[in-house]
Amino acid sequence: MELGVLTNLYGNKSLDEVLAHLSKLGVTMAEIGCGGYPGKAHCDPAVLLNDEKAYQEFLDTFERHNMKISALSCHGNPVHPNQETAKMYHDDFVNAILLAEKIGIDTVVGFSGCPGDGPHATAPNWVTCAWPDDYPAILDYQWNEVLIPYWKKMAKFANEHKVTKIAFEMHPGFCVYNPETLMRLREAVGPTIGANFDPSHLIWQGVDPVAAIRYLGDAIYHFHAKDTKIDAINTARTGVLDTKHYGDEIHRSWVFRAVGYGNGLDYWRDIASALRLVGYDKVMSIEHEDSLMSIDEGLEKAVAFLKDVLIYEPKPGTMSWA
């Protein structure tokens, strides 16, 4: 397994500067934002698909620093009920697929998205309960009339362009927010749909990452290394559903942390071992969203921590003791 970083944390620096810095830290793979929420600071598909000089310089930058691309990231909401918003995210995802094909990458990371509560909605509606009866009706509309048909079309398009892995981050606020909803969409659409496994979004929901990894198995296509710290005092008083601003850390029920600052070494070693058990051996890609640390300090501590977590060498083919 290799160590990677989602590079949009350094959106104010050039790609050359970012890769030079990551290489010095011992990082060998970069996850590149190319639209949607991650932005296009280091990779604008509309440019790279049409400007061969810019495209070659993009590739040369990776070669110069001996870095590989783990995936293109294009998180957005292409099923947003506002058609202009949906088209913006859809177009970004289409371009990400086309660029992935051109580069020779088989994985694009994103969100499933979340529709509104009906055909005349103006904002997404994330349903979190089964009653009153309005909510199951909303879910039926969202999944059967919008989400599944849309991703069937996009999976077909992706396959036609040699992208065989659409890796959804299971993220609250979107229809795919936990392992069960990920597998529901995968079963409806097919094996093109898989997971960008980010423990941080599962931890605060009460999901055990190791159990989730064992459940998802070969549906895991990419991995984000990000931690979450549950605030026991606030959670005991208010529960885990929390809409307070991420900057209001002292009052929140949970906050995102650099790996190792939410859970310890044994916890993360168990995650790495579970990934090895199910056959995932690609990358742990650090996503820095720790509001208590600077970008540099958070990234450097995450890199140092994960160097003692990752299993680098291939699984042995034989066992001398058995």
Per-residue pLDDT tens over the stretch 104-113? 999 999 999 9
Amino acid at 33: G
Of 5-19, 21-35, 198-212, 308-322, least confident by mean pLDDT is 308-322
SS3 213: helix
CATH code, 261: 3.20.20.150
How many whole angstroms separate alpha carbon 167 and alpha carbon 97? 12
Q: Could you check whether the bond before residue 81 is cis, i.e. omega within 30 degrees of 0?
A: no
Domains in the chain, number: 1
Distance of CA 181 to the CA centre of its chain: 15
Per-residue pLDDT tens over the stretch 111-120? 999 999 999 9
317 in a structural domain: no
Range of the domain at 75: 2-307
CB 126 within 8 A of CB 91: no
pLDDT, average across residues 62-89: 98
280 in a structural domain: yes
pLDDT at 192: 98
Say yes or no to pLDDT of 320 above 90.
no
Amino acid at 270: D
pLDDT, average across residues 236-248: 97
Instruction: Read off the pLDDT band of 277 (50, 70, 90).
Output: very high
313 in a structural domain: no
Amino acid at 158: A
Confidence (pTM): 0.97
